[in-house]
Amino acid sequence: MDKPARLENFPISFFAMVMGLAGLTISWGKAQSTLDIPVNLSAALAWFTLLVFGILLTFFLAKLIRFNQAVKNELNHPVKLNFFPAISISLILLSIAFRHINPSLSAGFWYVGALLHLLLTLYVMSCWIHHEKYEIQHINPAWFIPVVGNVLIPINGVHLGYIEVSWFFFSIGMLFWLVLLAIIFNRVIFHNPLPAKLMPTFFILIAPPAVGFIAYTALTGELDSAARLLYYSGLFLTLLLLTQVRRFARLQFFLSWWAYSFPLAAITIASFLMYEQTLINGFALLGWALLSILTLIVVFLLYKTALAISRHSICVPEG
C-alpha cells in the first residue's frame, strides 16, 4: 500500500498512545517524588512522549490537509469521534508531565489543552444530542474520553492558580461519568458483548474514579470520605479487570490495546498519593506493583505497535 493511502487511513485512536506514555511518565514522576528515588527517569520519558506526540500530530495535520473528507468521516463515526479529545488530553497530560521540568511549557500546554478540550467536549456532546444514527451497540467505555477527560484539567489547573476554572471542569467530568457509567453497564449486561477490537476499552472504566480522586485531592487538599470513595471505586475496578486478564491476553493486537496503559497509570498515581496522605506502607507497595506492571505493559505495547507498523497492519482500510 502506498504512503498517501496509509496517511489517509491514519487512525485518530493513535493518540491513545500519547496518553499511555504520558501516564507512565507522570507515574514515574510521582514515584520519584513520593519515595525520593534519585534517578530522574520521568524527565527522559517526558521528552520522549513529547516527541511521539509531535510525530503523531504532524501525521494527523497532514491527513487533515490532504484527506479532509477522511477526517470528517471519523468525526461522524459513533466510536472514532470519541478519540478526537485524546489530542487535547495529551496536551493536558504533557502539561502535568512538564510541571517541574519546564513550567512555562507546562502552562502553555495547559492553556491550549484546556480550551481545546472544552470545545471538543461541546462538539461531541452536541453530536450525541442531535444524532440520527447512534444505537446502543455503538457505546463503549471510549465514550468516557470526551467528558471525563475534563477531570484531568484541575490537576495542573490548581497549581496554576485557576481554582474556580478547575472546579468547573471537574464538575463536568464527574457528572457525566455517572451518566455514562449507567448507560455502559446497561449496554454490557443486557446487550451483545463488545467486539474483540473494543474489549481493551473496558480498562477505561478505571480512569474516571482514579483521576477523579487525584483531581479532588488537588482541589480540596485533603483525604476525606468522597476522596476515599473515588479511590476505592477505581481500585475495585482495577481488581475486577485484572481477574479477566486471560480473556484480554487472547485478543488480537489493535491500537485499542493502548487503553490498558493510561487507566493503569491513573490508579498507580492514585495509590502513591494515598501513601502520601496516609503513610500506610501497603499503598506504597501497591503503587510499586502497579508501576512495575504498567512499565512492562507500555514496553510491550511499544514493541507490538512498532511491529504492526513495520508489517503495515496499521493505517490500513477497515475491513
Does a structural domain hold residue 318? Answer: no
Residue 301 has pLDDT above 70, yes or no: yes
Query: Quick count: other Cβ atoms within 10 Å of Cβ 31?
Result: 22
Does a structural domain hold residue 234? Answer: yes
Does a structural domain hold residue 140? Answer: yes
Highest mean pLDDT among 7-16, 19-28, 256-265: 19-28
Q: Report percent pLDDT > 90 for the chain.
A: 72
User: Which residues, in sequence order, are CB contacts of 42 under 8 Å at separation 6+?
Assistant: 25, 26, 28, 29, 32, 97
H-type alpha helices, 67-204: 68-75, 85-97, 103-129, 144-148, 153-157, 163-190
- Summarised one tens digit per residue, pLDDT across range 77-127 is 888 899 999 999 999 999 999 999 999 999 999 999 999 999 999 999 998
CATH number for position 52:
1.50.10.150
Sign of the Cα torsion 188, 230, 267, 114 reads positive
Angle, alpha carbons 17-178-119 (nearest 5°): 55
**Average pLDDT of 156-175?**
96
Domain that holds residue 148: 3-310
- Summarised one tens digit per residue, pLDDT across range 181-199 is 999 999 888 888 888 888 8
Does a structural domain hold residue 227? Answer: yes
Give the whole-angstrom CA distance, residue 93 versus residue 106. Answer: 9
- Summarised one tens digit per residue, pLDDT across range 61-80 is 999 999 999 999 999 888 88
What pTM was estimated for this model as a whole? 0.93
Residue 2 has pLDDT above 70, yes or no: no
Does a structural domain hold residue 317? Answer: no
**For the chain, how many structural domains are there in total?**
1
Candidates 279, 298, 280; CA nearest to 290 is 298
Does a structural domain hold residue 319? Answer: no
Does a structural domain hold residue 82? Answer: yes
Does a structural domain hold residue 286? Answer: yes
